[in-house]
Chain A
Amino acid sequence: MFGYYMDLALRSLRRNKVLTALMVLAIAVGIGASMTTLTVMHLLSGDPLPGKSGTLFYPQVDADPTNDYSHTDPLDVMDYRSAVDLWSAHRADRQALIVDSKLKVQAPEVNLPSLMEMMLSTTSDFFPMFDVPFQYGSGWSADDDEKHARVAVISADLNNKLFGGTNSVGRALRLRDTDVRIVGVLKPWRPSPQFYMVAGGRFANGQTDDFYTKPEDVFTPFTSGLEINDGNFWQFTCWHMPDTPGHLQNAPCVWIRLWVELGSAAKVADYRSFLAGYAAQQKALGRITHADNTRLRSLMQWLDLNHVVPSDVHLQTWLAFAFLAICLFNTVGLLLAKFLRRSGEIGVRRALGASRRAVFAQCLVEAGLIGLLGGIGGWLLTLIGLWLVRRQPTVYADMAYLDASMFFTTFVLAIMVSLLAGALPALRASRIAPALQLKTL
């Protein structure tokens, strides 16, 4: 039966090529636009660490003693003292301090001009905690953190640039004026967003493109990094002017992020009370005043709070779906015209014994076929759309590719849209009274 309906559908589509082309084109354009933006949205709003994100938490304490604002939420990052205290307590399964800074990088054995790169200074847990993939070597040890070891891990990009992609473990790297030994080289690693640095999104008015930049190219132990690039660390914000800009260890500034891994709900509850206890103790010591203002948000909660997806992307997605809705209306109208025009033919089929259900099914097969053709067109338009996105000067442009799930979604969406569009016209067609049609023949 399906084969017969297919044959009928093909004949019908061939009969009026212009109308068919118009419908296929409308669906293709609607699908192309909505899939392009949906793919970008999928890319930007996804879970950067699927399966693991539920165990990662971002603690916050409010170390700002001033009363200039309402303190409804603690500042987005931490001061040195609180962050290091909480880290040193080692109360979570894993914990990583994070701070980034810009510095001059050079490979002494390689004759290339020096580069200005971002350096992430963190602690040894960073790599296992965030499932960072290694190409050569590995991260450093907790002992290296302790000893302020002059070691570094570099990105695949930097390894390609400086060492032509060969195994550079054991080779030297000059960071500003300090020589460090490379202990690990990462595989290409592109979390989306660059979640561990996200902060301040609430104040960005939707201009959050920067959350999608590539990870840093150089990773050093936290303690070593602070010494190597001393004087070049920039605050997230301060409540007083720091005495020595760039050196913030004792400054009234927040500039360090702390991430913790907590494997179970019980551990989360424990850590929450530990955090509250720490704040209360610091209040007793007179260092902070807003002791009850602590937070422990999971990774995804933190990303939500920061509205990581840029508002222009949201706007484009809404626009694309409104666009698809108009294409849908258009297709409904045209299918209606097309089916009712064949009233005579349908009347004959009904008179010869076809049931309403059969006529309905036949019409839907035709609509589905249009959807399939529209889906193919839509897929091609999506590829063009993504190519255009990749040519935009946005930081996430390099990631805009169609993955398997989105490829599949394209066709599901196209066929669903066309079946939806076909439902009403098919219903109308199946209600055609055979007698009336036969009389006019």
Chain B
Amino acid sequence: MTLHPILAALRKHKAGVVLISLQIALTLAIVCNAVFIIGQRVERVNRPTGLDENDLFLVTQQWVGAPSSDDPAGVEKLDVMQKEDLAALRNLPDVASVAPSNSVPLLNSSWTGSVSIKPGQQLGDKSGTRTAYYFTDDQVLPTLGLHLVAGRAFTAADVQHQGARDQRDRPVIIVSQALADKLFPQGSAVGKVIYSDGSSAPSTIIGVVARLQTPSTGSWGNDFAWYSTLVPTRLDSNFTRYVVRAKPGRRDAAMSAVPAALYAVNPMRVLDADDSVKSFADIRTSAYRADVGMAILMGVVCLILLCVTAAGIVGLTSFWVGQRHRQIGVRRALGARKIDILHYFQIENLLIAGVGVALGVLLAVGLNMWLMTHYEMTRIPLVYVVIGVLAMLAIGQAAVFVPARRASNVPPVVATRSA
């Protein structure tokens, strides 16, 4: 079959052809970019924190009427209380290990500061970078399930404590691989000395963990999302957090045993009913709720758009079939087979959709560039556009099938009747 009669017929329906191809172009542009946004959000949500997240949960508690952490005697008392809590939690039958920590990845509550390879550098210095600190103790690696790739873990002798708002030297630290590579691009970081928060007191890197995300998921923290520093120091204040690893499969049992165990140690505390004992899975869910919401919204929008466009194709093709009822009859009477008629409409649709997607690719790239200048977006990978084009063509063919088959069923005898 030659294309000539199809093109000649299309010339008679300019408005309809232009409308359908524009609709296909716009749909392609939007769907490509929306799917790309979905892809980005899904990728963000699925990135691993570096923790072994199964069986992990977080306890947040606050003492009532506790001594002040601003005077040294108060700090000592608070530290004793914290050690009692830790001991009680470690004694629970379903608990594997416990470490105190000011935060965990994805919690969006962080202590951020700067580290530099030179002493006394304020933030903004080129030789340093931002980092998020985890103040914890020697149990942190097994508790979080971190993977030590170089150096050694903290020992009980490394562990210090301080009032939550005091400044104290940090003689030994463990850093994430990303931070180690950033500070010491050539060679191993273990044994090297860095300076934290503009201090002149050196901190020696004793170990490197493979991967550890910072607590903040906001975009302000994107630049240093993997630059984490572990400090073997218990922070003492009237507010503490404990990270608990339950024995495999015993997380829920361990979680329900926590409040009673802590109240038994000291009843003068607040354990918030909803938030104080939170599984890591819940922390992850709430951290990424907005991203998941946006992804779902985009998905729904894409689906509806594709349906609307498909419906438009069905509607317009049906109209054309009705309009050409008699001509189809004539062609059939002159010897065209059913399959020829079917192919005619399918090829016609392929031509229109082809023009539409060609325009749509340009629009999609343009839209992506506009989004890049106005929002946090990266260049759309070609594969999204290619898949979008194939999907659009397939949807066009699917939409045209029903009206085209109806056209192919027009009997030749129609030609003999007057309209």
A interface residues with partner B (beta carbon < 8 Å): 19, 22, 26, 29, 33, 68-69, 113, 203-207, 231, 240-241, 245-246, 311-312, 314-316, 319, 322-323, 325-327, 329-330, 332-334, 336-338, 340-341, 392-394, 424, 428, 440-441
**Given A33-B301, A336-B15, list of 19 further CB < 8 A pairs?**
A22-B315, A26-B311, A68-B124, A240-B122, A241-B197, A311-B374, A312-B294, A322-B30, A326-B26, A326-B308, A326-B309, A329-B23, A333-B23, A334-B316, A337-B319, A337-B320, A341-B322, A392-B293, A393-B290
Closest to A113 in B: B270
In the complex, what's the smallest C-beta–C-beta distance from B317 to chain A, in angstroms? Answer: 9
Chain B residues numbered 231-271 whose CB sits less than 8 Å from any CB in chain A: 270
Interface positions, chain B 1-54, Cβ under 8 Å from A, are 15-16, 19-20, 22-23, 26-27, 29-30, 34, 37
Chain A residue nearest to B310 (CB atoms) is A330
Contact of B312 (CB < 8 Å), options: A113, A314, A333:
A333
Known interface pairs A203-B220, A205-B220, A206-B375; A319-B316 also in contact (CB < 8 Å)? no
* Mask of B340-379 contacts with A, CB within 8 angstroms, 1/0: 0000000000000000000000000000000100111000
A26 CA to B19 CA in the complex, in Å?
15
What residues of chain B lie closer than 8 Å to A329, measured between beta carbons? Answer: 19, 22-23, 26, 312
Residue B155 at the chain A interface, CB threshold 8 Å: no
Nearest neighbor of A322 in chain B, beta-carbon distance: B30
What's the minimum C-beta distance from B413 to chain A, rounded to whole angstroms? 19
Interface centre among A205, A314, A441 (most CB of B within 10 A): A205
In the complex, whether B305 has a CB less than 8 A from a CB of chain A is yes
* A333 partner, pick from B20, B27, B198, beta carbons under 8 A: B20
Within the assembled complex, what's the spacing in Å between the Cα atoms of A219 and B305? 49
Q: Which of B19, B37, B70, B316 contacts A231 (CB 8 A)?
A: B70
Q: Is B304 an interface residue (CB 8 A)?
A: yes
Is B294 a contact partner of A428 (Cβ separation < 8 A)? no
Residues of chain A within 8 A of B318, CB atoms compared: 337
Please report whether the interface of chain A is mostly helix, strand, loop or mixed according to DSSP.
Answer: helix
8 Å CB contact of B308 from A26, A113, A206, A241: A26
Find chain A residues with CB under 8 A from B289 CB: 393
Closest CB in chain B relative to A251 CB, distance in Å: 13
Which residues of B line the A interface, CB within 8 A? Answer: 15-16, 19-20, 22-23, 26-27, 29-30, 34, 37, 70, 122, 124, 165, 167, 197-198, 218-220, 270, 286, 289-290, 293-294, 297-298, 301, 304-305, 308-309, 311-312, 315-316, 318-320, 322-323, 371, 374-376, 419
In whole angstroms, what is the CA distance A22 to B312 when docked? 8
Instruction: Name the B residues within 8 Å of A337 (CB-CB).
Output: 16, 315-316, 318-320
A246, B166: Cα distance in complex, Å = 12
The CA of A334 and the CA of B317, in the complex, are separated in Å by: 10
Q: Nearest-CB distance from B403 to chain A (Å)?
A: 11
Task: Decide: A336 and B19 in contact? CB cutoff 8 A.
Answer: yes
Contact B315 A333 (CB under 8 A): yes
Q: Which residue of B lies closest to A19 (CB)?
A: B315
Partner of B26, one of A19, A325, A336: A325
A-B contact pairs, 6 of them (CB 8 A): A22-B311, A204-B219, A206-B376, A311-B374, A330-B312, A393-B293
Whether A326 contacts B315 in the complex (CB less than 8 A), given A311-B376, A393-B289, comes out as no
CA distance A210 to B197 in the complex (A): 27
- Complex Cα distance A241/B198, Å? 9
Interfacial chain A residues near B320, Cβ < 8 Å: 337
A392 contact set on B, CB distance < 8 A: 290, 293
Q: Is the CB of A323 within 8 A of B301?
A: yes
Shortest Cβ gap from B300 to chain A (Å) = 9
Cα-based distance from A392 to B290 in the complex (angstroms): 8
Say yes or no: B305 contacts A326, CB within 8 Å: yes
Main SS class of interface, B: helix
B419 touches A440 (CB 8 A): yes
Q: Is the CB of B220 within 8 A of A204?
A: yes
Q: How far is the CA of A14 from the CA of B311 in the complex (A)?
A: 19
**Closest residue to A32 on the B side, CB-wise?**
B304
- Out of B124, B167, B270, name the residue touching A241 (CB < 8 Å): B167
Q: Which residues of A contact B167 (CB under 8 A)?
A: 241
CA of A427 to CA of B20 in the docked complex: distance in angstroms?
A: 19
Are B218 and A207 in contact, CB atoms less than 8 angstroms apart?
A: yes
B319 lies within 8 A of A428 (CB): no
**Quick check: B316 and A428 within 8 Å, CB to CB?**
no
Q: Are B165 and A205 in contact (CB under 8 A)?
A: no
Query: Is B293 in contact with A341, judged by CB distance below 8 angstroms?
Result: no
Chain A CB within 10 A, most for which of B34, B293, B301, B315: B315
In the bound complex, what is the Cα–Cα distance between A163 and B198 (angstroms)?
A: 49
Q: How far is the CA of A33 from the CA of B298 in the complex (A)?
A: 12
A215, B318: Cα distance in complex, Å: 57
By a CB distance below 8 angstroms, the chain B residues around A325 are 26
Closest Cβ of chain B to A39, distance in Å, is 15
Which residues of chain A are within 8 angstroms of B294 by Cβ–Cβ distance? 312
Report which of A33, A315, A340, A393 forms a contact with B375, defined as CB distance below 8 A.
A315
CB of A311 within 8 A of CB of B375, answer yes
Q: Are A330 and B308 in contact (CB under 8 A)?
A: yes
Contact in complex: A246, B26 (CB < 8 Å): no
Distance, CA A123 to CA B19, complexed state (A)? 61
Q: Indicate whether A326 sits within 8 Å of B23 (C-beta atoms), given known contacts A319-B34, A393-B289.
A: yes
Other-chain residue from A203, A205, A241, A326 in contact with B30 (beta carbon distance below 8 A):
A326
B352 CB to nearest chain A CB (Å): 11
A394–B34 Cα gap in the complex (Å)? Answer: 21
* A333-B219 in contact given A245-B165, A311-B376, A440-B419 (Cβ < 8 Å): no
Contact between B219 and A205, CB atoms less than 8 A apart: yes
Contacts of B124 in A (CB 8 A): 68-69
Chain A residues within an 8 Å CB radius of B30: 319, 322-323, 326
A334 to B308, CA, bound (A): 11
Interchain CA distance A114-B347 in the complex, whole Å: 73
By beta carbon, the residue of chain A nearest B317 is: A337
Interfacial chain B residues near A394, Cβ < 8 Å? 290
Q: How far is the CB of A111 from chain B (nearest CB, A)?
A: 15
Q: A69-B124, A203-B220 are in contact. Are A341 and B315 (CB under 8 A)?
A: no
Which residues does chain B contribute within 8 Å of A316, judged by CB atoms? 297
Could you tell me the distance between the alpha carbons of A424 and B197 in the complex, rounded to whole angstroms? Answer: 67
Report Cα–Cα, A205/B374, bound state, in Å.
Answer: 10
Measured CA separation A281–B304 after assembly (Å): 63
In the bound assembly, the distance between CA atoms of A245 and B165 in angstroms comes to 7
Q: How far is the CA of A324 from the CA of B265 in the complex (A)?
A: 61
Bound CA–CA A205/B26 (angstroms): 28
Chain A residues, CB < 8 A from B70: 231
